[in-house]
Chains A and B, each alone.
Chain A
Amino acid sequence: MDFFLALPSLVVFVCMGFIPLALIATWSFWSFDPDTYWIKPVWSLASYAALLENGRATVLLRTAGLAALTATASTLLAVPAATVVGLLSGPRRATLLVALFTIPFFTSGLVRAFAWRLVLGREGIINNVLIRLGIAHTPVEWLLFSDFAVVLGMVAAYLPFAIIPMVLVFARIEHSVIWASQDLGAGFWMMFSSIVLPLIMPGIIAGFLFVFVVAVATSMEIQLLGGAGASSISIMINDVMRVVNFPLAFAIATVVVIFLIVLVIIANRMLKLSRLFEDLGA
């Protein structure tokens, strides 16, 4: 009975998740056919070898680094934000705050990223303020078209991805546990560090992973806010697709998917991500 209930989801997962990924992984070992501009089933590791040339491996590592930095910053900002929403607010204020965090998503991501150019540019708001206050005499160049601008743009864009899982975890905390700790004389910081933090850890890890995965896949912020010709994994995939190098594009995608799967497995093993779902099926 359980199997039949799960069957529709299983079919969707296999057809829309597993099969496309399996095809991409398979095709990454095929060869480009210049006669047809497509791929042919001649098995080869050439695409994986090409990943180590022309700085492509650097792009993979750099993208992962920027994504990790973004996810870390987002998580650090999300913990106090989610604490205010989940622990220190009543239902009405919590709803209002969550709405405020998610409202920016109603605008285009492109517009949001582009807006940062107007804020961080030579004639942008920040440079104008710095010059008027006498803090700088000439515009600060590194504010825009730099890794700083990229991380700032990504944190601003993807912060809600870190906040929402934490808020959901806060909702599962039994308030009696907190009251008990206070009855026993624990102050706010003691209660937060020894009771709340361990309980919300799965939400923190989930938030980190959500931001990390989205940041690995984005190209918008890097293209709009990064330095001259700054690259990312998705920009690199676009570049190779432009020259119809499909096997290389598939190889890049395969490596990224495997990396993300490994990351989730490690997070689950080491940090017990599955605790998020421990009530399910109980």
Chain B
Amino acid sequence: MTHNNCNNHSQGIQTRLTRRQLVQNTALGAGALAVGTLGLPCAARAANEINFWATGTLDIGDPGWDILKNESGVKVNFTDNGNDPGPVVAKLAAGNANDIYDVGGLQGGSEKELAKRDLIAPWDLSQIPNYTNLWQWAKDIPYLTYEGKIYGIPTVINADSIIALREKASSVDSYGVVFDPKLKGKTAMEDAWINSVTFTAIYLKNSENTKIAEPGNLTADELGLVMEFLIKHKKDGQFRTFWNGWEQGLQLIVNQEVWVMTGWEPIVYAARDRGVDCYYAVPKEGYEAWGNNTILLKGAVNRGLSKMAHQFANALLSGFYGCKLGTLRGYFVPTENNVAYATAHSAAFNPDKVKELGEHVKAKFAGKVYWQNTRPDNFQLYEQWWQRLRNA
């Protein structure tokens, strides 16, 4: 009897807990919907369709995707993911991105975290024959693997450094110029710890002999040193501003609001088009390299689209995509297949231009490079320090 009572009591608690859990799960579900997009789960689509959710600059437009479809058999529905790794990871973890999209493309570094949480699946390289033609050092990028399996395929790579106005700063060869008191109020960095902390760490490691093991993945102590350095210079009025986005960065250079700033190489080309004499410096401390990597979302595997996703990843490395993206935006897919494709299709692409772009990127990687990492081990600590910098 007592036993029965205990059982009943226990059942009662279990029922209440279940209800509570039900409410919590409902709340979590609603939250997931709120955090994620309000997109509905995939509508019926053809077996050869892949929903590609990537950085907007990876879009080659409908005419480009149509050619890729003719060559590979994969129809691509492209959606811009906003490029900011934070919301992308949040939508995968707590939103409905895995219900909607099949393949992702985002700045490297988050693969390990996503793989650990079973949100992305490893690539089966035997289904991606073009992977063998990928440049070796691109294959060797850290952050692509987890537990020996490959989760990220580098689809676009480049390396960033400093933009300088020739008339005001003619021979920049070090990140030190950004912190030079002689240029107080004439310098800027990007309003993103992913890049600005890494650039500063590269400088301190190489030119100030600060003990830093990996600028892209700082320990708590290393991060403290780097951020104290940045805070001191911010308090001294060194930075005119922290820029945010393409147009803002470009305007700072075009209107000579700043004379030097860390930034993206395409800004130099756009500023030159507007008649500004500026250049991209070759820093002795090395470049900050980045890879935009293709990831296989777990949702695609669950929906039986794994084979098609591999076919798509293979198509991205086949040469056409590299030629098209290079022509459209100057971005480079690290494979010799680009030149081979351009040579075979010289009416559509100039092989010399394609080769020139490849050689330009190769030259950057001939020296020292440090890889950008969107998810360092202490990523929440990075944000806390960034708040302190903002308030300094």
A residues neighboring B (CB under 8 Å) = 20, 23, 26-27, 35-39, 41, 53-56, 58-59, 114, 117-118, 121-124, 141, 144-145, 223-224, 226-231, 235-236, 239-246
Cβ-closest chain B residue relative to A62: B391
Q: Which of the listed residues A20, A26, A241 has the most CB atoms from chain B within 10 Å of its own CB?
A: A241
List of A residues within 8 angstroms of B24 by Cβ: 41
What sequence of 0s and 1s flags, for each residue 375-392 of chain B, a beta carbon within 8 Å of any chain A beta carbon? 000011011111111111
B247 within 8 A of A: yes
Flag if A245 contacts B391 (CB, 8 Å).
no
Check A54 against B387 for contact (C-beta < 8 Å): yes
Is residue B356 contacting chain A, with contact meaning CB distance below 8 A? no
Residues in A whose Cβ lies below 8 Å from that of B240: 145, 228
Cα distance, A231 to B389, chains bound together (Å):
10
Knowing A35-B117, A228-B242 are in contact, say whether A241-B255 is a contact too (CB < 8 A): no
CA distance A186 to B37 in the complex (A): 60
A50 vs chain B, min Cβ distance (A): 8
Q: A23-B31, A241-B86, A243-B380 are in contact. Are A54 and B388 (CB under 8 A)?
A: yes
CB distance from A143 to the nearest CB of B (A): 11
18 new A-B contacts, CB < 8 A, other than A228-B240, A246-B90, are: A23-B34, A26-B27, A36-B117, A39-B28, A54-B384, A54-B387, A56-B387, A58-B391, A59-B390, A228-B188, A229-B234, A231-B387, A231-B391, A242-B86, A243-B380, A243-B382, A243-B383, A244-B93
- Which A-B residue pairs are the 5 nearest by beta carbons? A242-B86, A55-B391, A37-B93, A228-B239, A231-B390
CB-CB < 8 A to A243: which residues of B? Answer: 86, 379-380, 382-383
What residues of chain A lie closer than 8 Å to B359, measured between beta carbons? none
B185 within 8 Å of A by Cβ?
yes
Show 5 residue pairs from A and B whose CB-CB distance is below 8 angstroms, ordered by the A residue: A117-B255, A124-B255, A224-B248, A235-B390, A240-B383
Instruction: Give B61-73 as 1s and 0s: 1 = Cβ < 8 Å from A's Cβ atoms.
Output: 0000000000000
CB of B241 within 8 Å of the partner chain: yes
| Cα–Cα distance between A53 and B385 once the two chains are bound (Å) | 11
Min Cβ gap A81→B in Å is: 31
Which single member of A59, A122, A244 contacts B387 (CB below 8 Å)?
A: A59
Q: Does B251 contact A (CB under 8 A)?
A: yes
Cβ-based interface call for B257 (8 A)? yes
A122 and B383 contact, Cβ closer than 8 Å, known pairs A27-B31, A229-B234, A241-B86: no
Interface residues of B in 79-112 (CB under 8 A from A): 84-87, 89-90, 93-94
The answer to whether A144 touches B386 (Cβ under 8 A) is no
Is B30 close to A, CB under 8 A?
yes
Q: Does B244 contact A (CB under 8 A)?
A: yes
Inter-subunit contact A223/B86 (CB<8 Å):
no
Complex-state Cα separation, A59 to B392, whole angstroms = 11
Docked Cα-Cα span, A220 to B221, in Å, equals 33
Is B191 engaged at the interface, CB distance under 8 Å to the other chain? yes
Q: Say yes or no: is B282 at the interface (Cβ < 8 Å to chain A).
A: no
Query: Which residues from chain B contact A226 at a C-beta distance below 8 Å?
Result: 241
For B191, B247, B248, B391, which residue has the most chain A Cβ atoms within 10 angstroms? B391
Q: Is the CB of B89 within 8 A of A123?
A: no
Q: How far is the CA of A145 from the CA of B383 in the complex (A)?
A: 22
Closest to B196 in A: A229
CA distance A246 to B95 in the complex (A): 12
Residues A236 and B248 in contact, CB atoms below 8 Å apart? no
- Interface membership of B173, Cβ < 8 A: no
Q: For B31, B84, B89, B244, which residue has the most chain A Cβ atoms within 10 angstroms? A: B31
B265 interface contact, C-beta 8 A = no
Is B125's CB within 8 Å of the partner chain A? no
